[in-house]
């Protein structure tokens, strides 16, 4: 994985070219489904799953989830555990309503209305991403493309997903703004060289000059994004 120091940083006054959104816990309230599936798989194997375990797994990757379940259960097959968790989440997506988090739907719609290129970049496997998109329907069809954990050599916290997003956008990573909610996701975005707006709900974040932290997407709009990214790029240079 590339070090943050090796990645390009934005230049003062750089233009915001595109926006990349994380999915779970940022746009949609699916983290409880993940936590339930993880707990069910751990329990089926004789292990005890805690809230702290769920928080540790926020943002992925799936290998981390499997490793912790194996530790709690005293063994198991990693690939089978990953498959079981994914299958349980897919089943829950089919029966539980998928809800946009506050401000998320409005922000995505405004990006579309203002012709600001935007995409979905998730650490979830492709079947989960597709399941969420299907559940959200028309409101989620404005993304220029979507990237899942299955679409890149390494998923978050590696920078690969956001480097691939910048490639598909046709812009430098430093001209891309990423919205993330987890330490794993922000690490990936910063390592790619992108600017970051973090909306944390669990876990602590390490401050960074290319990252601004806010409490919610409510009230966030394109004008605010452009103003905030200008402050981030200036701070990076000073």
What local confidence, expressed as pLDDT, does residue 233 receive? 66
Q: What is the pLDDT of residues 123-137, one digit of tens each?
A: 999 999 999 999 999
- Report the catalytic residues: 22, 24
User: What count of other Cβ atoms lies within 10 Å of the Cβ of residue 3?
Assistant: 8
Structure tokens at 106: 């409005």
pLDDT along the chain (238 residues), means of 10: 38 75 95 90 91 81 89 91 92 90 97 97 95 91 96 97 98 97 95 96 84 95 94 59
Encode burial over 162-178: b for 16+ CB neighbours within 10 A, e otherwise: bbbbbebbebbbbbbbb
Domains of the chain: which residue ranges? 4-29+99-237, 31-95
Structure tokens at 218: 């409510």
Pair 107, 221: CB distance under 8 Å: yes
For the structural domain made of 4-29+99-237, what CATH number should be given? 3.40.50.1000
DSSP E strands in 42-152: the ranges are 118-121, 146-147
What local confidence, expressed as pLDDT, does residue 94 receive? 87
Q: pTM value?
A: 0.85
Q: What is the pLDDT of residues 75-89, one digit of tens each?
A: 899 999 999 999 999
The whole-angstrom separation of Cα 65 and Cα 82 is 8
User: What count of other Cβ atoms lies within 10 Å of the Cβ of residue 48?
Assistant: 10
What local confidence, expressed as pLDDT, does residue 64 receive? 87
What local confidence, expressed as pLDDT, does residue 5 receive? 36
Q: Report the CATH fold assignment for 31-95.
A: DNA polymerase; domain 1 (1.10.150)
């Amino acid at each position: 994985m590339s070090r943050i120091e090796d990645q390009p940083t934005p230049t003062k006054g750089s233009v915001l070219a595109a926006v990349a959104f994380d999915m779970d816990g940022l746009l949609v309230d699916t983290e409880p489904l993940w936590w339930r599936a993880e707990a069910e798989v751990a329990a089926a194997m004789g292990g005890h799953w805690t809230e702290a375990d769920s928080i540790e797994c926020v943002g992925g990757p799936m290998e981390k989830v499997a490793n912790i379940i194996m530790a709690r259960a005293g063994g198991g097959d990693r690939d089978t555990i990953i498959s079981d968790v994914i299958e349980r989440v897919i089943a829950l997506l089919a029966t539980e309503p998928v809800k946009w988090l506050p401000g998320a739907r409005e922000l995505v719609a405004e990006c579309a209305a203002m012709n600001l290129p935007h995409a979905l970049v998730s650490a979830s496997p492709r079947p989960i991403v597709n399941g969420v998109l299907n559940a959200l329907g028309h409101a989620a069809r404005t993304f220029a493309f979507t990237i899942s954990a299955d679409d890149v050599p390494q998923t978050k916290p590696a920078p690969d997903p956001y480097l691939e997003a910048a490639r598909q956008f046709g812009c430098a990573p430093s001209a891309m703004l990423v919205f993330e909610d987890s330490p794993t996701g922000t690490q990936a975005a910063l390592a790619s060289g992108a600017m970051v707006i973090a909306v944390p709900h669990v876990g602590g974040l390490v401050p960074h000059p290319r990252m601004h932290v806010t409490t919610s997407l409510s009230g966030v709009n394109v004008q605010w994004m452009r103003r905030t990214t200008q402050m981030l790029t200036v701070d990076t240079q000073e």
